[in-house]
Structure 1
Amino acid sequence: MFKPEDFPEAKFISVNNVTLEVFEAGEENIGNPILLCHGWPELAFSWRYQIPALVAAGYHVIAPNQRGYGKSSQPNEITHYDIKHLTDDLTALLDHYGYRSATFIGHDWGAFVVWGMALLQPNRVDKVINLALPYQERGDVPWIELMEQFLGSDYYFVHFNRQPGVADKILEQNTQQFLGNLFRKNVPLMPPEPRMEMIHLAKTTDALGEPLMSDDELAVFVSAFEESGFSASINWYRNLDRNWHLLADAQPIIDQPALMIYGARDVIPPFADIAKFVPNVEVLTLDAGHSIQQEKPQETNKAILEWLSK
């Protein structure tokens, strides 16, 4: 069982007009960097099982709480959470450490940022490993507009955009219950019900599945979001259509070697055409839900390290 006190101590690094709370390990491996990018509503702590394994394999591991999370800066402007700001943060972090480029590993929203790094800053990315969220084809219609057409106004991506502040407040009033209900495993796959899923998770006392983590681990997330609130991190969602426009001129093909890891029990489906946009991709599916690296840490570490060693 992981003990939260074993996690690296925070360092505060000023980059790109924000201060990031960064957790670093394996300084003895300087010259072989890996950057870990967490999802929502998560933290760098989501990588607690990967960091020791990567350090033992010879990597210098850098895991920031990205802007809007933990004790990292929370800019007031919604547009300061778009893909350009998020990738510029990572580029500036590389500059801070004196690295030209690095391997990037992302999960969930962090995977979106890593795909974005490869599109907007390809010379700074050596290899890509992403979990849960595959490459997103840009298409002809902005993403939120498209989701609203097919998934309705209560779909949480759409709700976050069309009713700003409503969900934020409910999540903040029920932080412990929301995160405890969200971070579950062995949740049966069922068709989505006509409701705002995140608000439902914040209000229900009848969660499906089993707890994903120990009470002590969950307390790290609860404490962080009780302090930070949710609005800053939800602002990432409020830039999806802006991101769609910002990526208009990006060359859509990612040439770097890539590993895409899906969870067989995740609600996010695989992207059948991923190799069309990421020709050097290897695809792997683990018997896990959405929080792949926390639910199946040993299997995730084995997959990552074997792929990196090729």
Structure 2
Amino acid sequence: MSTFDFPQPVRIPVNGVYLEVFEAGVENSGKPIVLCHGWPELAYSWRHQVPALVAAGYHVIVPNQRGFGNSSRPSEVTDFDIEHLAGDLVALLDHFGYDAATFVGHDWGAMVVWGLALLHPHRVTRVINLSLPYVERGETAPIELMESYLGSDYYFVHFNRQPGVADAVLDQNTSRFLRNLYRKNEPAGVSQPGMSMIDLAIAEIPLGEPIMSDSDLAVFVSSFEASGFTGGINWYRNVDRNWRLLASADPIIRQPALMIYGDRDSIPKSENLAHFVPDVDVVSLDCGHWIQEELPDDVNRVIVSWLEQHDAL
């Protein structure tokens, strides 16, 4: 399956919204695997993984999550908290008639999958996450903590403290922002003052090398020009709310898990991952943040091999 064979979408009613869902490998019904994108990504971010997983015998379900693509974009910020995002995935399983599935997440998608495994553990058979490890719940609200350590311009903080400001800049510079963001092998530089996402949106010259073709990038640009960025940014605006919502959850991920890091990713690796995810295997690849885009063949090999090992148990 080439990128041009990416499945055609259907809009499915779930959990009070509609999700735009791409489905492949229907003939493998009974072995569901759900791929969850991050920000600012789309279901299309998994285009390299879909054919490999179908070939491995999986029914592959890839939603544009709420706020993205042609999925619903509720107006209330709180409609993008972890209970809603996890609830969408549970309802998606219900729609397809599955009690549980393997869930794969990258970036914010990984955050949602970790949260889903905490809130609805019986609906998750295995966890595969890329880039973002499990984050231990601390005693201080995360945005307050980030602001104290990283300052008010740190993009998580800025999204929360100055709602609408970054959204407008990104909406006005969609093509440039995505072109400048989806890069690899950027030169190491000294951290500069300012809000990094806004700086990316207005930078005239991109750094490093593109991670995708112009035609693939055009899919993202077209989608975000239509949807805007606010829906996805609202995920960030629920970080403290999610922290409160998960206060009473059992913090241990008990499912078998695979964590894939990019050695050049700016997101740090977890030093105590196995404490909270005791049945975890860890793989590191020589790439940056956009792991499944940068090294698709390696990612496919690692994921399929790990799934086969666990299927054989």
Aligned residue type for 2:124 = V
> For 1:81-114, what per-residue CA distance to the aligned partner results, in whole angstroms no more than 9, with x for missing partners?
0000000000000000000000000000000000
For 1:55, the equivalent position in structure 2 comes to 54
Query: Deviation at 1:193?
Result: 1.7
Greater displacement, 217-226 / 187-196: 187-196
For 2:270, the equivalent position in structure 1 comes to 271
TM value normalised by structure 2: 0.97
For 2:69, the equivalent position in structure 1 comes to 70
Query: Deviation at 1:2?
Result: 4.7
Q: Aligned partners of 2:188 and 2:58: how far apart in 1? A: 36
SS at match of 2:191: coil
SS at match of 1:309: helix
Query: Deviation at 1:239?
Result: 0.2
Structure 2: tracts of 5 or more residues without a match: none
Aligned residue type for 2:32 = P
Aligned residue type for 2:282 = V
Matches within 5 A, 1:183-262: 183-262=182-261
SS at match of 2:170: helix
Q: Aligned partners of 1:254 and 1:7: how far apart in 2? A: 32
Aligned residue type for 1:67 = R
For 1:303, the equivalent position in structure 2 comes to 302
Query: Deviation at 1:208?
Result: 1.1
Q: Aligned partners of 2:255 and 2:120: how far apart in 1? A: 12
For 2:285, the equivalent position in structure 1 comes to 286
SS at match of 2:238: helix
Q: Aligned partners of 2:8 and 2:161: how far apart in 1? A: 38
Matches within 5 A, 1:126-165: 126-165=125-164
> For 1:15-38, what per-residue CA distance to the aligned partner results, in whole angstroms no more than 9, with x for missing partners?
100000000000000000000000
Q: Aligned partners of 1:188 and 1:91: how far apart in 2? A: 41
Contact 1:156 1:197 in 2 (8 A): yes
Q: Aligned partners of 1:48 and 1:282: how far apart in 2? A: 24
Contact 1:29 1:59 in 2 (8 A): yes
Contact 1:143 1:240 in 2 (8 A): yes
- Is the alpha carbon distance of 1:35 and 1:173 closer, same or farther for their aligned partners in structure 2, counting shifts above 3 Å? same
For 1:94, the equivalent position in structure 2 comes to 93
Greater displacement, 242-251 / 191-200: 191-200
Greater displacement, 254-263 / 182-191: 182-191
For 2:115, the equivalent position in structure 1 comes to 116
* Residue-pair matches, total: 309
Q: Aligned partners of 1:79 and 1:192: how far apart in 2? A: 32
For 2:178, the equivalent position in structure 1 comes to 179
Q: Aligned partners of 2:186 and 2:140: how far apart in 1? A: 32
Q: Aligned partners of 1:185 and 1:39: how far apart in 2? A: 17
Q: Aligned partners of 2:138 and 2:187: how far apart in 1? A: 31
Runs of 4+ more than 2 Å apart:
188-192
Q: Aligned partners of 1:2 and 1:211: how far apart in 2? A: 19
Aligned residue type for 1:87 = A
Structure 1: tracts of 5 or more residues without a match: none
- Is the alpha carbon distance of 1:104 and 1:294 closer, same or farther for their aligned partners in structure 2, counting shifts above 3 Å? same
